[in-house]
Every structure is written in structure tokens, then in C-alpha cells.
Amino acid sequence: MNTPRLLLTASIFFTILILNACAPDRILIDLAPGDGRLTETAVFKDSGAPDTAPKVAMIDVSGMIASIATGGLIPSGGNPVDDLVARLNKAAEDASVRAIIIRVNSPGGTVAASETMYNEIRAFRKRTKKPVVISMAEVTASGGYYIALAGDQLVAQPSSVTGSIGVIFQTFNFSEGMRRFGIESRAVVSRPNKDIASPFEPPVEEHYAILQSLVDDFYAKFRALVAERRPDIAPADMDTVTDGRVFTGSQALELHLVDKLGGVREAFDAAKSLADLDRAQLVKYHAQGRRPNSAYALGPELNARLNPPQSTEINLVQLNLAAAESAGASGFYYLWTPALTRP
């Protein structure tokens, strides 16, 4: 038996297993195949509203937030940040679009991508003056909530899971297991901190102190943004809402993390109110020839990416080989990472 190869294979397997169990391995935002050209379909219209009625555009943000190409082993060529900006630009250029809804269903993702998407949504709001309503689906946690803070109003379903305000830098260390098999790792580095938190070297506390300082810095910014964008949160509750725990939509309303309860229709009403509209139509952007059946449709092209043919299912946990690439986009995450099992 080739012991080193066995150990390395096991290490890679469990790393992918844990990462894939923590969260979806990609973000999907109404992506279009081929040349990426977008069209729109009205998925809901107020009674009596004509076909020329003002529009509210809805953009779906689903899955892992990261500035990476999506599409499995063969990336589609785009990335989630670019796709979001493309849809914001389309909404900005259409004078008949009077407001937008961003429907978020995400446990979060990398710090940088979450920050970038937040900034792009805020830039859209400043540039166009068009209101932005956030509609929370099943999960809008950590980086998903960071993005949600860009909205003028946050609407959560009572059963939505949100919160998880904080930062995580996940590390693994295989040095003890390697030692038991007689395997020794020795990195040749330019300076002592070049191999910081290497999984193949014994842990060095000074390395983790450096990483902790970065985590603390990212967390301080996240917490400050919560305080800025959600001023109705009671100072006495700030430590509770930003300690990493999650809340239901109903709990989030009580703590002023969100503004009201409801689904897409309630978010549509909120958008109309902010845009001072009596009647409007809700439109979704999608690839040509991929008409959605309702406001909740992600589209065949999205379903294909959520369930790629390269996947292998083991013990009800889907292992996608693209997860390793996706996780490598950044080491610092605004991400809700529930445990694989609970006692």
C-alpha cells in the first residue's frame, strides 16, 4: 500500500467533504449561457396594469458568494460579481424599471466578493435613485446578509434563516497524522510567515495571531456596517446580533435586522411603495429562450449548474469536484458554516 498517497487522498476527500457540507459551492445569479445576452419576462402583474406598466426587476442571488467562474469542471467564463453588475446595468439603463428586488438565498461567501457586491448595489442605488428591496428566501446569512444591508428595505419570510454576522478563516492541519505515518513536510520559504497556517507543518501560534488580526479587522468592518445600515438595532442588542448566531425571519424582525415579514409579493409591494407606484409588473432577466414560469423560477440553465453531471453522491452529501476550486477563491469568509452533524 502506498501510505503517503493514501494519506493525501484521505486529506483531500475530507477537506472537500467538510467544505461542501458547510455551504453550496457556488453562487448563481440568473446566469445566461452562450453569449450571455439577457432578455426579460413579466412574471407577475398587478390587476389592471397594462403591458406598458412600470417595471420592478428581480435579480436572484443564490448559493456561494465568490469572485470565481461557475459551471463545474468547465467554468462558464463569467463570475457572480460580473453577472450581478450586468443585471444591475440592464435595470439602470431601462427607464421603465423603477425599482429592483434582489432575492437572496445564500449562506455567504468570501469577504472580498461580499464587499464588492454590496458596493455595486449601493453604487446602483446612488447612480439611478431607484429603490432596492431585499427579499430573503430560505437563507440570507453572513455574506448574504452583508449584501442585504445594501437594500433600502429588507423583507424576510418568517422561516428565513439570517444573521451569522461574523468572519471565519477555516484551517486544517494534517501534520500529526503525517508524523504517525513517518511523513515529514519541510517548506522552503523566503520569510517565517510565508507558509502561514500550512496544513502540513505543526501549528505555529504566531501565525494564528496574524490571521486573528485579519479576522478581527474584517469583523469590525462588518459590525460597523450593521450599525450604520440598521440604526434601529438597540445598542444593548448589538453584541447579540453580531456574535455569529443565526435567527429566524420573525426573530430578525424583533431585533430590527429586517424591516418586515413576507415573501416575493410583499417585497414587490414594498418596491412599489418606495417608487411611488400604484400598479406595476415584476420582471425577471434570463437567457433568451429560457422563459421563467414564475417569480420563483431559477431557469433550466441555473438548475444545470446546481446539479452538474460531474457530481458524485456519498452518504447524502453531494461532492462536486469544483468545490475545491471554489473554496480556494479566498481564505476569509463571511459564511454560515453549520456543522455536518449534531449530537
285 is written with which cell numbers? 432577466
Model confidence band, residue 36 (pLDDT cutoffs 50, 70, 90): low
- Domain presence at residue 4: no
- Domain presence at residue 10: no
| Residues that are catalytic | 142, 194
- Domain presence at residue 71: yes
| For residues 27-35, average pLDDT | 50
Q: 11-48 burial by CB neighbour count: b if 16+ within 10 A, else e? A: beeebbbbbbbbbbbbbbbbbbbeeeebebebbbbeee
Q: Is 139 helix (H, G, I), strand (E, B) or coil?
A: strand
pTM for this predicted structure: 0.78
- Domain presence at residue 202: yes
Q: Is the pLDDT of residue 197 over 90?
A: no
Q: Which residue has the cell 467562474?
A: 69
- Domain presence at residue 190: no
**Which residue did the predictor score with more confidence, 265 or 207?**
265
**Distance from C-alpha of 87 to C-alpha of 103, rounded to nearest angstrom:** 13
**Which residue did the predictor score with more confidence, 78 or 101?**
101
Q: What residue numbers bound the domain in which 32 lies?
A: 26-170+195-310+330-335
As for how many domains the chain has, the answer is 1
The conformational region for residue 10 under phi > 0 = left, psi -120 to 50 = alpha, else beta, is alpha
- Domain presence at residue 250: yes
- Domain presence at residue 6: no
**Distance from C-alpha of 225 to C-alpha of 222, rounded to nearest angstrom:** 5
- Domain presence at residue 77: yes
Q: Is the pLDDT of residue 223 over 90?
A: yes
**Distance from C-alpha of 296 to C-alpha of 122, rounded to nearest angstrom:** 24
| CATH number of the structural domain spanning residue 151 | 3.90.226.10
Q: Is the pLDDT of residue 30 over 60?
A: no
**Distance from C-alpha of 260 to C-alpha of 287, rounded to nearest angstrom:** 32
Residue 61 forms beta bridges with which residues?
Answer: 104
Model confidence band, residue 278 (pLDDT cutoffs 50, 70, 90): very high
